[in-house]
Amino acid sequence: MKKLLFPLAILIATFAQAQDDQKQIRSIYDAALTESEAYENLRVLCKDIGARLSGSEQADKAVVWGEEVLNKLGLDSVYLQEITVPHWYRGKKKERAYFFNEKGKVYLDVCALGGSVGTGMNQFISGEVIEVHSLEEIAEMDSNVVAGKIIFYNRPMDPKHISTFKAYGGCVDQRYSGAIEAAKKGAIAVLVRSMGLRQDDFPHTGTMAYEEGITKIPALAVSTNGANYLSENLKKTPKLDLALKTSCETLPDKVSYNVIGEIRGSKYPDIFITVGGHLDSWDLGEGAHDDGAGTVQSIEVLHLLKTLNIKPQYTIRCVLFMNEENGNRGGISYAERAIQEKEKHLAAFESDRGGFSPRGFSVNGSAKRLESIQAWASLLKPYGLHEFEAGFAGVDINPLKNDTICLIGLSPDSQRYFDHHHTDDDVFETVNKRELELGAASMTALIYLIDKYWKYPN
């Protein structure tokens, strides 16, 4: 009889626990959909501060804002982590690109890529355009052909990928390394098709690189409509001269900060679950989806835990990372200090894929951790979460990677992300309040489960 009773008791206890979890997760979503501050926080970050590239005045304001917002939550501690950040500046004058066709002088919608050198304040450079579709294509070309020319990288994102991040991954080498490969062959500038699936007039900025010993040449993005138009013109007029002007420059590094707030763990205060987004953004638009959304969702995780009086066992640390966009100095410094301080990290969450309807999580950890998350699928399914796959979790938290930590990225629906990414169209109005709140609730729910059930180190 005893033998029978024992498993029955376990079964009843397990069932009761599952019901508790169901109830708690329901209360997290209820609070997120009725009492969240995320949307109003996002409005202030986007409308009162706006675009906030590392080194800018707006980035400084965002740090002050982040600290204030965290201070209002009544956390156990709020503090700044000093870092130095690059300070690239687009310049006072709008970028220009034009050529002549049968209509006369035709302008393209362009912007400088982040980190690019300028052509000089009021100085155009011009040269014949060569359209290519890959770094390999330019690598195989003769220097005599390329020298003095402007290289136009025009490989579009492949619309057949269901995940738009895969389409982005298949193209972004043109933006990142295009100037290096073109300069090796003597090109004087590069123009890169914007990383977007929509056909529109928004040029998309984003980070690009130079290589020691290779000439630094100006690099610009052109809108998808502009790229198509230029390509059509090149078919009609293979020898076509393009004139470009950018006034961007790189200024000396500046001091900035990661902004951190903590709820101290009741049982394991020295073991951490980090949750973050990045506070900086590109200097176009308002950094609403990238990554105002992740910033306010990470703050909201702490707000929801406080609102619901959930007392975590581990310390839950919200980190508003600085400088994800052009250097990742915040993420790197945060990880370095974690090693210096011998901090123990159980898990780290990042939201940096837009404030869209959540679909699941991308998990970079041991097979055991992934299986543990997958085993909770039935608890998360009622909230539309269904993707629990191994994958990259986030740029800011990636430097924390070691044998024990589990890195977890929130995966929202990706279809519209690259309509807004790094453009003037990444504005508050394109974020839906409920979708934003559901993302915050989804991270909070998974943090609640991990905090309750996972043991450190594994």
Catalytic residues: 324
Binding residue for a second copy (CB under 8 A) from 23, 47, 267, 434?
434
197 lies in the site for a second copy, by CB under 8 A: yes
Among 3, 4, 7, 34, binds a second copy (CB under 8 A): 34
Interface with a second copy (CB under 8 A), residue from 382, 402, 453, 458: 382
Give dist(CA 159, CA 136) in Å, integer: 22
Nearer to a second copy by Cβ, of 231 and 415: the residue is 415
384 touches a second copy (CB under 8 A): yes
Total number of residues binding a second copy (CB under 8 A)? 25
24 near a second copy, judged by CB under 8 A:
no
φ and ψ at 197, to 5 degrees? Answer: -95, -15
- 198 touches a second copy by CB under 8 A: yes
**Which range of residues in 47-55, 218-226, 335-343, 429-437 is near a second copy by CB under 8 A?**
429-437
| Closer CB to a second copy, 382 or 457, in the complex | 382
| Crossing angle (nearest 10°) for helices 433-453 and 2-35 | 150
**From the CB of 130, what's the least distance to a second copy, in Å?**
27
Stretch that binds a second copy, among 12-20, 296-304, 330-338, 414-422 (CB under 8 A): 414-422
Q: Which stretch binds a second copy (CB under 8 A): 116-124, 381-389, 420-428, 450-458?
A: 381-389
The yes or no reply on residue 71 touching a second copy (CB under 8 A) is: no
| Residues in 137-176 that interact with a second copy by CB under 8 A | 159-160, 162, 164
Q: Counting Cβ atoms within 10 Å, is residue 184 exposed (0-12), middle (13-18) or buried (19+)?
A: middle
Contacts with a second copy, residue ranges (CB under 8 A): 29-30, 33-34, 159-160, 162, 164, 197-198, 357, 359, 382-384, 386, 413, 415-416, 419, 432-435, 438
